Amino acid sequence: MSIYNNLINNLEALKLTRFKENLDSYLDMIADGKKTVLDALYEITQSELEFKNHQAITGCVKIANFPYLKEINEFDFSFQPSLDKTKIMDLMTLRFIENAENVIFCGTPGVGKTNLAVSIGIEAAKHRYCVYYMTFQELISQLKKAATENRLEARIKWFCRYKLLIIDELGYQKMDVESANLFFNLIAKRYEKQSTIITTNSPFSKWSDIFGEPVLTNALLDRLLHHCSVININGPSYRLKDQMQYMMEEN
């Protein structure tokens, strides 16, 4: 085997995909005197690094289980004037994750709660934070299943691996005592260690009714809100935007 073939084998064994792809063109450039060996080595390793970084980002975004991929630059802030763009852009710096703070988006349907949570989540995943999106219902059913299988503690530990957990649509249904306790358990474990983003259509004054347990609800809110940005969105539904436009044109 030639040294060239051995090199190709080594690059494959080391999983240096981009390096392998670029090798020939760089060897040509060196042979033609168009690149020094040092420049070639630097550029070829730089391109491998960028490729690996890109792969890692794609992996983090995939793992996060987002319902859709919409980034913040697609969000139309002018449609939702009550929303403080500066506050959202501050969240986009991901400072809140470093400080293990929470975010709660509260508002009526269609105002962009899920979209904003997802956009912040994508940014976090791009920065290679371990992020996971799930609806409140999914979360509760997974915790319940774990409890019946006697592995609740392990499951909660599993959820605590995520630096950012996005829990979408809290408050659409009333809960039984078990669900309320399971949720409290999770939030208490994540408290001051990891960040959680929650979206809800229910103001905090109604949470007692949803959880059905006033004492537990107080303890839950105490932990959730201790280090938390609460973003209330009062405005029109983006889902009805086109319909509204249509109705205005009709009149």
- Residues in touch with ligand ADP (CB under 6 A): 70, 75-76, 79-80, 107, 109-115, 199, 238-239
CA distance 24 to 39: 15
Q: If we measure between CA atoms, which residue out of 174, 173, 228, 222 comes closest to residue 196?
A: 228
Q: Which CB sits closer to ligand ADP, 44 or 111? A: 111
Least Å from the CB of residue 98 to Mg ion: 26
121 contact, one of Mg ion, ligand ADP, none, CB 5-8 Å limit per kind:
none
Structure tokens of 93?
A: 């710096």
Contact call for residue 80 and Mg ion (CB under 5 A): no
Structure tokens of 59?
A: 């992996």
CA distance 166 to 169: 10
236 contact, one of ligand ADP, Mg ion, none, CB 5-8 Å limit per kind:
none
- Stretch of 114-122, 126-134, 148-156, 158-166 contacting Mg ion, by CB under 5 A: 114-122
- Stretch of 2-10, 20-28, 106-114, 235-243 contacting Mg ion, by CB under 5 A: 106-114
Question: Looking at the DSSP assignment, which residues form a beta bridge with residue 199?
Answer: 105
Least Å from the CB of residue 15 to ligand ADP: 37
**Which residue is it, tokens 């004492």?**
215
**Which residue is it, tokens 């109705």?**
247
70 contact, one of Mg ion, ligand ADP, none, CB 5-8 Å limit per kind:
ligand ADP
- The CB density around residue 13, as the number of other CB atoms within 10 Å, is 8
Report the phi/psi class of residue 66: left, alpha or beta, with left for phi > 0 and alpha for psi in -120 to 50.
beta
Least Å from the CB of residue 234 to Mg ion: 16
Q: Which of 102, 114, 194, 200 binds Mg ion (CB under 5 A)?
A: 114
Least Å from the CB of residue 225 to ligand ADP: 20
Q: Determine the 3-state secondary structure of 16 from DSSP.
A: coil
Least Å from the CB of residue 114 to ligand ADP: 3
200 touches 169 (CB < 8 A): yes
Chain residues binding Mg ion by CB under 5 A are: 114
